[in-house]
Every structure is written in structure tokens, then in C-alpha cells.
A = this chain, B = another copy of it.
Amino acid sequence: MPGMARAAATADAFNAVAEPRRREILDLLVTGERPVNDLVGALELGQPQVSKHLRVLREVGLVEVRERGRQRMYRINGRPLEQIHDWVGGFERTWNERFDALEGVLEELKTEEEDNADD
């Protein structure tokens, strides 16, 4: 059975945030809740597109909505970002120079151990 469906898709925060426009939206919402048209004005993008991006963000729990008259006020809920922060944080030593140095030392220790394999 070739070409089968792959695992979900835009179902998690990683994917939601992979899209630059959605990151822009979150950047805009970080200062507080905003109606859709506000975002449409700020981004250079049509209203339906913004609504669709907001839908994705909503589905992964990154934004929440509140109705105010005929507008929908969107606000951030960053909790799903914690997962990303944690995962990426686990790789800190792979970009941090100080940790790189530490790794060098550990490598040396390992080499010494191998050299003294006869004790």
C-alpha cells in the first residue's frame, strides 16, 4: 500500500510554529489580545488567510478567542510552546561554546580511560 497518509500534520505546536506567518501572528499577540482585522492590517495578508492561520493556532491551543460584538479577540496561550522550549533546551550544549569546551574535556577523559584500559 504505497503513498499512505503520514502521521497527522498540523496537529502540534512544532508544526504550527514552523510557518513564518503564524510566528508573526504570535509576535503581534504577545502585547495583548487583538481582533482579526488588526492582524490583517499588520501582516501583509488577506483576511481569510489570517483566519485560517488563527484556526491552526487555535487547534493546537496556541491562541484562544473571546467574542466582543462582531469581532473575535484573539490572545496567546503559550503553554504549548513549553514543549518546544523543553525539547530545544535539551540541545543547548550543542550550540553553547562553554558546553562545547566541556565536551572537549569529557572527550579527553574518555581517551585517557581508553589509554589506561589495563588497570
Encoded as 1 (CB less than 8 Å from any B CB) or 0, chain A from 64 to 96 comes to 000000000000111111101101111111110
The B-contacting residues of A in range 1-57, CB under 8 angstroms, are 7, 14-15, 17-18, 20, 23, 26, 30
Which residues of chain B have C-beta atoms less than 8 A from A89's C-beta? Answer: 85
Interface size class of A (residues with CB under 8 A): 20 to 34
Q: Is the interface of A mostly helix, strand, loop or mixed?
A: helix
Q: In the bound complex, what is the Cα–Cα distance between A23 and B30 (angstroms)?
A: 27
| Nearest-Cβ distance from residue A24 to partner chain B, whole angstroms | 11
Q: Which residue of B lies closest to A86 (CB)?
A: B88
| Nearest-Cβ distance from residue A46 to partner chain B, whole angstroms | 12
Give 10 nearest A-B pairs by CB, closest first.
Answer: A78-B94, A18-B18, A78-B95, A78-B91, A79-B95, A14-B18, A15-B18, A82-B95, A85-B88, A76-B94
